[in-house]
Amino acid sequence: MTVLARPATETRSWNRSIADYAALTKPRIIELLLVTTLPAMVLAARGLPPLEVTLATLVGGAAAAGSANAVNCVLDRDIDALMARTANRPFNRSTVSPRAALVFAAVLGAGAVGLLWVAANALAAGLTALAIAIYVVGYTLVLKRRTPSNIVWGGSAGCMPTLIGWAAVTGSLAPTPFVLFAVVFFWTPPHFWALAMRFARDYERAGVPMLPVVAAPRVVVGRIAAYTCLTIAASIALWPVAATGPVYPVGAAVLGAVFLREVLVLCREVRAGRPGRPLRVFHASISYLALLFLWVGVVVVVGSRW
């Protein structure tokens, strides 16, 4: 029997299509969102949550974020084409049509909400739908091109996984997940403003009023420092309202000090008239958030077994 091999060009085209649709979901952003979801679930369960609920919430959360990100790519394709950082996205290479991307996003979003409704509960599903709406409507359509505070308020979509994870386990909300929400809320501006400092010319060329485009560097680093302090304060505030144990605030304070040190180095460089290295703060912010939420999960799981 003769087996016909698929032509190499067809295989490459298929692989490229998969890669392009995956790129629309912005996988690196999804990774950070999942990092904040799972510890919230562990904290809600005061230990390891049920496996089926955990998997459904993580898969649903990834699909929801991918849906919102894909719509964002469609709506922002005009400015993405003007920015070096985003010039290689699928729309700029004409490999995916806007209509196909919107269908893809709709399937992901509906699947995410449906999965959480069935496998978790209606509250988790509703919060997931709200998170998509905040990012697409609140941030992308309303705030991004109009105000330097776009990432402050629009970034609240990225805080929603803390509420979704908690709700998926308990079916309700409480003060604790809102403290986690506050950590991510205050963390988002220094994280994004550091990146925007590095690519300020890109945003200026695209007409997007990110803070580093419309404010002096001294003002930007001052606000980065202020929001970093608020982030650290919120992380410590988790201790009295959650079952984190006495070792949690020690680890949170150490992680916060390391993050703040990078921010203060940037402040010192900018105030000395040098451009500084904002990407160091950007990468430090990612490490900080990931390690902080990992620390939350570790102390809760270990504490539940003692």
What one-character-per-residue DSSP string does 197-223 give? HHTHHHHHHHT---HHHHS-HHHHHHH
Give yes or no for residue 16 having a pLDDT over 80: no
Whole-angstrom Cα distance, residue 20 to residue 15?
Answer: 9
Whole-angstrom Cα distance, residue 159 to residue 157?
Answer: 5
Q: What is the residue extent of each domain of the chain?
A: 18-304
Q: Which contacts (CB < 8 Å, 24+ apart) does range 17-23 have?
A: 17/95, 17/96, 20/90, 20/93, 20/95, 20/96, 21/90, 21/96, 21/101, 21/104, 23/89, 23/90
Band (pLDDT 50/70/90 cuts) for residue 180 is very high
Band (pLDDT 50/70/90 cuts) for residue 136 is very high
* pLDDT computed for residue 11 by the predictor: 54
* pLDDT computed for residue 81 by the predictor: 87
* pLDDT computed for residue 9 by the predictor: 54
Mean pLDDT, rounded, for 270-298: 96
Give yes or no for residue 2 having a pLDDT over 70: no
**Closest among 71, 257, 256, 244 to 157, alpha carbons compared:** 71
Band (pLDDT 50/70/90 cuts) for residue 15 is low
Whole-prediction pTM: 0.92
Give yes or no for residue 4 having a pLDDT over 80: no
Residue 158's alpha-carbon distances to 34, 122, 287, 289, in angstroms, are 10, 20, 16, 12
Give yes or no for residue 105 having a pLDDT over 70: yes
Band (pLDDT 50/70/90 cuts) for residue 282 is very high
Mean pLDDT, rounded, for 54-66: 97
Q: Which fold has domain 18-304?
A: Farnesyl Diphosphate Synthase (1.10.600)
What's the pLDDT tens digit per position in 236-258? 999 999 978 899 999 999 999 99
Give yes or no for residue 206 having a pLDDT over 80: yes
**Token pair of 286, please?**
């990612």
Which of 14-18, 229-233, 261-265 shows the lowest per-residue confidence on average (mean pLDDT)? Answer: 14-18
Give yes or no for residue 1 having a pLDDT over 60: no
* pLDDT computed for residue 245 by the predictor: 85
Mean pLDDT, rounded, for 67-72: 96
Mean pLDDT of the chain: 92
Band (pLDDT 50/70/90 cuts) for residue 149 is very high
* pLDDT computed for residue 233 by the predictor: 98
* pLDDT computed for residue 7 by the predictor: 58
* pLDDT computed for residue 261 by the predictor: 98
What's the pLDDT tens digit per position in 211-221? 999 999 999 99
What's the pLDDT tens digit per position in 85-100? 877 777 766 678 899 9
